[in-house]
Structure 1
Amino acid sequence: MKKLSRILKRFVLISLALAGVLSLATCAFMQQPQFGSLPKGERLEEVKKSPRYSDGKFHNLIERPTITEGYSIVGESWKTLFGNLPRRTPVDSLPSVKTDLKAIPANQNVMVWFGHSSVFIQAGGVTFLADPIFSGKATPLPWGVKAYKGSDVYTADDMPEIDYLLISHDHYDHLDYETVTALKNKVKHVVCGLGVGAHFQRWGYKPEQIIERDWYQKVPVNDSVVIYNESSHHRSGRGFVQNKALWMSYLIKTPANKIYISGDGGFDGRFAAIGKKFDGVDWAVMENGQYDMAWHSVHNLPDEVIAATMGLRAKNLLPVHHSKFTLAKHPWDEPLNKVTELSVGKPYRLATPMIGEVVRMDDSTQLFKQWWKGLN
């Protein structure tokens, strides 16, 4: 018995020592710059003033569990890792168009989608870039989720000067460290939610470049262009500490167009409220992909994308958040197939450009191919 007791004691001590070493190694690893920074000092004091902030974190307007009742994180992780989930990643290389963005005349109102939620917008003579990710991966780890073949044809070098970089939230597939550091000398201003600026400041952006806002505030660009900060229902965080920075959607108002950018976020009444507030929108750039019933509180299901677009009273729908990374269990092309099927007979026009294809915002006759059809 004494010998067994000594063995057990030794085993416990070794286990504790290993756990301690692993914890220290993890903490050291998490100090790398790609993990960003938490708000502190004056920035934290501004965060604490937000009506959205209490108990040390940001909250949604109506709290709902991230994981739907009847599902579990362990169960869903098991299905994702070991389940029979066909066609989650395309075998074929995705088609694309390599547009010279720097040659687009300044008086043209255009959008160019780069896969996932990355979109270049030129409207009212101002350039915007939303949630760019050109590093080829959607995680801070080199062996993480990789971009599909053919989906990563653009780099930071291909971008023109950007007047306003818009960040919806600080998850890795929307705020990419490698991309925003490569863009640093091209970006005049960053617009983001409260707390997100801490990441940019750590990464070398100047304080005067960073514009942090709460929901229902705005950023006047000039006499005719305004960026409105609108709500969402989502989460934030780049490490073990969650919801220290605010998630956001945006509406860009120019003389010719009202452009809504949803960012990530589950369905609620905000879409109808925004549609009423702005008397409809011309373009809805809507999250449509990486969804699941298990976490539909924070990501729209396909029918909810349609309901949101209708609530916004949008004239045109550009679906994003698909065709670059596998972050859910559905087939890679299901978001495009579903949104196309569900949009039949609806009062808006569906725009499904290839990666890099120029969308002419003022041209209601422009046609788009179902480019994903026939790809494996």
Structure 2
Amino acid sequence: MIILFSLTVYIYMLQPQFGSLPKGKRLELIKKSEHYIDGRFRNIIEKPTISPGYDQWNELWKTIAEDHPRREPATALPSIKTNLKTISKEADIIIWFGHSSFFLQLDGVKILVDPVFSDSASPLPNSVRAYKGTNIYTAGDMPDIDYMLLSHDHYDHLDYETAKALQPKVKKVICGLGAGAHYEHWGYSEKQLIETDWANETLINKSFSIYSESTHHESGRTFKSGQSQWLSFVIKSNDMTIYYSGDGGYTDRFKYIARKFPNINWAIVECGQYDKAWQSVHLLPNEVAQATLDLKAENLLPVHHSKFTLANHPWDEPLNEITKLSKDKDYHLATPKIGEVIRLKDKQQVFEQWWLKL
């Protein structure tokens, strides 16, 4: 029976959505990274993924056996279908697609971040399904993309079906060392891929750069974790600086980012799918607010919520909590609907608390 089960798992994991582990020249390049130690990438300060006083199997059992009310919305979430292909090249905008997927146009450069347009954030059938109303965008709705950014290769950030469909539209992918193995496995050419480590700059033009920076998280699509680097990003034009946190628990890195990149206009920070049991790798709402203050950001766009259930908190708790925590703070909170256009330089734009109407 054990042999049959093992064989079934092996055959199932040959499916393309599991991606590929780095090997050959890619693996040799990875081994030169100071962050790759003893066969895997490491965080700057090592912490256990499960917080002290918590047990991984006990937390799993509580998720399965205990009642956690309102983990999913009872009705479809409101969303707006914006035509991205007709947006003026002069418009500096963000459009959020739910969870951590968003489109950014700045100085005419089109950037797509962590796109997940399929109906699931899991390789297992009928699991981690997208909420009703949240999956109105497809790869076909995207314009040609100059740069597609990947923070890390977990399924809720790197989706096989989406990546495969986008390949003809994407000029360049910027991802962590090792993650290019997935894209090549799915048909991307070597010329499309820019694999990078922490504290590296990708020069777009003389007044526009994308910087890859650290976060405190993890990676992996199979049983072998830590084989590709996890990233945050700073996107800097001549007159605007945008920070995207990727996933990761609270550390002093936000203060470091603020010193390295003063005058951050927008902080796009994960806020959702958290738990005190895994606080080291995901921010709690009060830590999202503190990170934004550490960054000295003018605006906060919270992401990583309102599309998939990956934790036990109520689905709308992240929005309720960050709204309360952001009251009277030095930054402006943006809470758009999925598909709503955020005008990056419009300081008067107002966002309604749409989730309270459901």
Q: Is this a same-fold pair by TM over 0.5?
A: yes
Partner of 1:235: 218
C-alpha distance in 2, partners of 1:215/1:248?
7
Pairing 1:72–2:60 present: no
Which residues in structure 2 correspond to 1:239-254 (within 5 Å)?
239-254=222-237
Deviation, structure 1 residue 94 = 0.3
Aligned-partner Cα distance in 1 for 2:184–2:146 = 18
Note if contact 1:57-1:243 (Cα within 8 Å) is conserved in structure 2.
Answer: yes
User: 1:198 is matched by which residue type in structure 2?
Assistant: A
The equivalent residue for 1:41 is 24
| Residue-by-residue CA offset, 1:220-277 (whole Å, 9 max, x unaligned) | 0111110001000000000110101000000000123101011100000000100111
- Is 2:153 aligned against 1:166? no
Q: Does 1:281 align with 2:255?
A: no
**Counterpart secondary structure, 2:48:** coil
- The total of aligned residue pairs comes to 358
TM-superposed CA distance for 1:197, in Å, is: 0.3
Do the aligned residues in 2 keep the contact of 1:58 with 1:243 (CA within 8 Å)?
A: yes
Which consecutive aligned stretches of 4+ in structure 1 deviate over 2 angstroms post-superposition?
none
Counterpart in the other structure of 1:93:
76
Q: Which residue of 2 aligns with 1:188?
A: 171
Distance 2:124 2:171 in 1: 29
Within 1, Cα distance between the matches of 2:44 and 2:332?
A: 30
Q: One-letter code of the match for 1:97?
A: I
Residue of structure 2 in register with 1:112 after alignment: 95
Q: Does 1:265 align with 2:248?
A: yes
Q: How does 1:270-309 map to 2 (within 5 A)?
A: 270-309=253-292
State the shift of 1:106 in Å.
Answer: 0.5
SS at match of 2:167: coil
Q: What do the CA deviations read for 1:265-307 (whole angstroms, capped 9, x no partner)?
A: 0000000100111113100000000000000000000010011
1:339 aligns with 2:322: yes
The residue number in structure 2 matching 1:31 is 14
For residue 53 of structure 2, what is the amino acid of its counterpart? G
1:215 is matched with 198
In 1, distance between residues paired with 2:161 and 2:124? 12
SS of match in other structure, 2:155: coil
User: Which amino acid counterpart does residue 48 of structure 1 have in structure 2?
Assistant: K
The aligned residue for residue 131 of structure 2 is 148
Contact preservation (8 Å) 1:124, 1:256: no
Matching residue's letter, 1:237 = G
Is 1:157 the equivalent of 2:145?
A: no
Question: 2:46 is matched with which residue: 60, 63, 73?
Answer: 63
Aligned-residue sequence identity (percent) comes to 57
Letter aligned with residue 147 of structure 1:
A
TM-score, L = length of structure 1 = 0.94
Q: Deviations over 1:53-94 (max 9, x none)?
A: 010000000000000011111111111112111100001110
Instruction: Give the whole-Å Cα distance in 2 for the aligned partners of 1:372 and 1:284.
Output: 21
Task: Name the CA distance, whole Å, in 2 between partners of 1:147 and 1:280.
Answer: 35
2-structure distance, mates of 1:197, 1:301: 30
Secondary structure at the counterpart of residue 205 of structure 2 = coil
SS of 2:124's equivalent? coil
Amino acid at match of 1:103: T
Does 1:103 find its partner at 2:81? no
Q: Does 1:356 align with 2:344?
A: no
Q: CA deviation at 1:142?
A: 2.5
Q: Secondary structure at the match of 2:255?
A: helix
> 2:121 aligned with 1:138, yes or no?
yes
Matched position secondary structure for 1:28: helix
In 2, distance between residues paired with 1:255 and 1:92?
A: 43
| Alignment gaps of 5+ in structure 1 | 1-17
Rounded Cα–Cα distance in structure 2 between residues aligned with 1:256 and 1:356: 25
Q: Deviations over 1:22-45 (max 9, x none)?
A: 111111111111000000000000
Structure whose alpha-carbon radius of gyration is higher: 1
Aligned Cα RMSD in Å? 0.6
Question: One-letter code of the match for 2:306?
Answer: S
Partner of 1:255: 238
1:178 paired with 2:161, answer: yes
The residue number in structure 2 matching 1:121 is 104
CA distance in 1, matches of 2:234, 2:318: 23
Counterpart in the other structure of 1:372: 355
> Take 1:136 and 1:26, find their aligned partners in 2: how far apart are those partners?
23
Secondary structure in 1 matching 2:355:
coil
* SS of aligned partner of 1:183: helix
For 1:147-193, what per-residue CA distance to the aligned partner results, in whole angstroms no more than 9, with x for missing partners? 00101111111111110000000000000001010101110000000
Residue range with higher mean Cα deviation, 204-213 or 137-146: 137-146
Match of 1:51 in 2: 34
C-alpha distance after superposition, 1:109-134 (max 9, x if no partner): 00000000001000011000000000
